[in-house]
Structure 1
């Protein structure tokens, strides 16, 4: 696992640039299970996590929510029976920032 999970999110201003495709490609190997997708013109990191039942999925959702609150960086989370889909992106800049990769790595660590 990369050291991204040990890093903290940095303050991000609304005029901060989104990551370039080259920067995304350089960081992607650190979170290999995550997919880069685009919704409404904004790139996001997305991953679906699988669980035995709804209770486990709900507990993981709470764990990710706690990580998000601690970092003051919040994802979109869809909790279903046996699965949780998490999307990280930086709302303030309308795309991906290093913080999203940090939080994806922290989410992976919470899953293991």
Structure 2
């Protein structure tokens, strides 16, 4: 999860992830209910723990319907500073939705 210096110098989006880290916050009245719900935070933190302890091993994240998987995927990509990511989805409609959010 250490930043890639070469990518940092050449890619403005990647550079923004390093200079303006995503905050994984809990929704509250104080922040206008912005933030990540409990299943999303759990998946983000668990993924980061796995990346730190066993980065060479693949992992699977399982989340129920309606828990915000797409936003969770995007958050993990940004927080972990992934240089490349392949997202596979089962339908064209879901592909369009995911691409639109990205």
- TM > 0.5 fold call: no
Give the structure with higher Rg (CA): 2
What TM-score, normalized by structure 2, do the two folds share? 0.32
What TM-score, normalized by structure 1, do the two folds share? 0.30
Richer in helix (by share): 2
Which structure has more relative contact order (CA 8 Å, sep 6+)? It is 1
Richer in strand (by share): 1
